Structure 1
Amino acid sequence: MIKEEIERAFRELSNWGRWGVDDQIGTLNNVTPQKIAAAARLIREGRVFALGASLKWPLQSTPNKGRWNVIHSYMQDGADAHAAFIDGMVEYSDDAIHMPVQCSTHWDALCHTFHGGQTYNGGDARDFRSKGPPKLGIEHTANRMAGRGVLLDIARFKSVDHLENGYTISNQDLDDCAAKQGVSVGQGDFVIIRTGYQERFLNSGNWHTHSYSAAPGVAFENCYWLKEKDVAAIASDTYAVEVVPASADGYGFPWHSVAIPSIGVTVGEMLYVKELAEDCARDGIYTFFFCAPPLNLPGGTGSPINPQAIK
């Protein structure tokens, strides 16, 4: 893939101005109250599947990229409370976590990725300074992350436990998988792709290279699929959603460079989907009510989440 193809896609697929010059949520505008109400009717039995990876899993194994795994510490434990007890006082424990917002299961905010020095909807990347971005922070999506979820289980569709590293998921793969599962993907949907990538590391107990190795993922052409389907957001069980490495001239993550700053798609990474996928395979139902609110973090370039799929 050459740079001109990426630049052309950036221009042709742009949603800049579609929802107004001040828009800060991109394709999440496709999630209307009517769509949320319809998605709620997908709940039949009240089975809830948590899609957030355990914060104990060392998903980040890329020290040269500046991210680290969650640091969880206790400021006061039971022994401290007992030692400090004074009659009539409340005894309590207290702890804290220290983590990059994108070190585990998370959303990428629209201010996370730039292209040619620009953000989604025509913002200037230079306006994003050390105290945060002037717009497009994750807080703007705090009440937008609910609707119809669709699981596309590509690994199961291909009859494998996991896709091979570097496997490129084509638009045809996505459409064929949806057809076999008996589902449609359309405007305002939250699409979740299962590759089996995370499960491979979980089963082996060795997380080495998890966040920087070659990985399966969507092809660059998926940008066109996203625009055609007009989905609200896309997520997967890998750390990048797009295939790694990508064959692109001068771009490490070409799909990101169009999907987020041009189309305005919110991207979710490192979702834990094993149990949801097994349940979908059992009952043949691959749609569900999906809810995954981010932290209300002004200026956040992303947010840790524990998404819920409810059937």
Structure 2
Amino acid sequence: MSDKLTKQSIEETFRELSNWGRWGEEDEVGTLNNVRPEDIVAAAGLIRRGKVFGLGVPLDQPLQSVPHKRWNTIHTFMQDGADVATGMFEGRLQYADDAINLPTHSSTHWDALAHVFNDGRMYNGHDARRFGSKGFPVNGIEKMANRMVGRGVLLDVARFKGVDSLEDEYAITNAELDACAAAQGVEIRAGDFVLIRTGYQERFWSRGDWAGHTTGMAPGLHFESCYWLKEKDVAAVAADNYAVEARPAEGEGFSYPWHGVVIPAMGLTMGEMFYLRELAADCAQDGVYEFFFCAPPLNLPGGSGSPINPQAIK
């Protein structure tokens, strides 16, 4: 990692890359505006084999592996086989019924534009301090419920670098993103959903233990990628690590400096903890790194994020 970013440099990047007002003062979806209807139609044409890849980590996996403000999914049954066995149902019709309890950012998920603030400022100039525990009437995840569809592109940086997983703290530069795309023969276009594979998550799958997964050091995007993402006008970015950006990535006054720019300044939606292993293997086999992508969030008014099971279809 480079030297610690100063508050001044982060704020300069914030101002330089800000999309406030770009799509109007009332806009609440940010860079998703880069996806045009014709882009979605074209993306549908990428489906040639009808092969579907689910990119969500199963909800029974303990990705939140240490005491934390977020917990792993709690899955309980109100009605199950025992109720059938005890004869509590009348007649021949019985059923099962269950419930889940989970933080919206505890597994594979999208961050809403209401998730991150910079000095109390939310995307498009809203003051986050105006809103309380009932959720956010602006920039909530529900505004994206019909927007997460289009052309997906995988940048398999780990495979490009010839490793199973990038090293902890490894920060992927803009030059490496471009070189990876060129090596794969794929072009990044405006309105794309760009998925970054670092190999980080696969370490935990291999050892069968998620200890330290969401608290330790991790490879990811370099802070400078803010500029790359703005230049490419992508719709959203996601990765197989827990923060997209490399960790740690300390900045003066910011424990997550990249987050402090891309969400509140650029209005860029980001996805974390994507499961990319099987998709990456298939892309490497057929040499095709573009696909139809669909990943709608829950229609959760005022939510700061949403669990998802993204789909890549080739």
TM-score range, shorter chain: over 0.9
Structure-1 residue corresponding to 2:173: 170
User: Shift of the alpha carbon at 1:227?
Assistant: 0.6
Per-residue CA deviation, residues 150-193 of structure 1 (Å, 9 max, x unaligned), is 00000000000000110010011100000000011121000000
* Cα distance, 1:84 vs structure 2: 3.3
- 1:42 paired residue number: 46
**TM-score normalised by L of structure 2:** 0.97
Mapped partners of 1:250, 1:147: distance in 2? 36
Question: Unpaired segments of 5 or more residues in structure 1?
Answer: none
Give the whole-Å Cα distance in 2 for the aligned partners of 1:130 and 1:184. 42
Query: Which residue does the alignment assign to 2:26?
Result: 22
Compute the displacement of 1:89 (Å): 5.5
1:95 aligns to 2:108 (yes or no): no
SS in 1 for 2:263: helix
Please give the secondary structure, in 1, of the residue aligned with 2:249: coil
Shift, 1:87, TM fit = 4.5
How far does the alpha carbon of each residue in 1:65-85 deviate from its partner, in whole angstroms, 9 at most, with x for none? x10000111111112123234
TM-score, with structure 1 as normaliser: 0.98
Correspondence for 1:211: 214
The worse-fitting range, judged by mean Cα deviation, of 300-309 and 126-135 is 126-135
The equivalent of 2:152 in structure 1 is 149
Residue equivalent to 1:239: 242
Equivalent residues, number: 310
Partner of 1:108: 111
Q: Secondary structure at the match of 1:289?
A: strand
Note the residue ranges of structure 2 that are not aligned, 5 or more in a row.
Answer: none
Between the aligned partners of 1:264 and 1:140, the Cα distance in structure 2 is 12
Check conservation: 1:82, 1:91, Cα contact below 8 A.
no
State the identity as a percent: 64
**Map of 2:281 onto structure 1:** 278
Return the alpha-carbon distance in structure 2 between the equivalents of residues 247 and 127 of structure 1. 28
Q: Give the superposed CA RMSD.
A: 1.0
Q: Deviation of residue 90 (structure 1)?
A: 2.5
Equivalent in the alignment of 1:60: 64
Corresponding residue SS for 2:152: strand
Q: Deviations over 1:104-158 (max 9, x none)?
A: 0000000000001100000001122011112110000000000000000000000
Offset, 1:247: 3.6
Q: Paired residue for 1:71, among 67, 74, 84?
A: 74
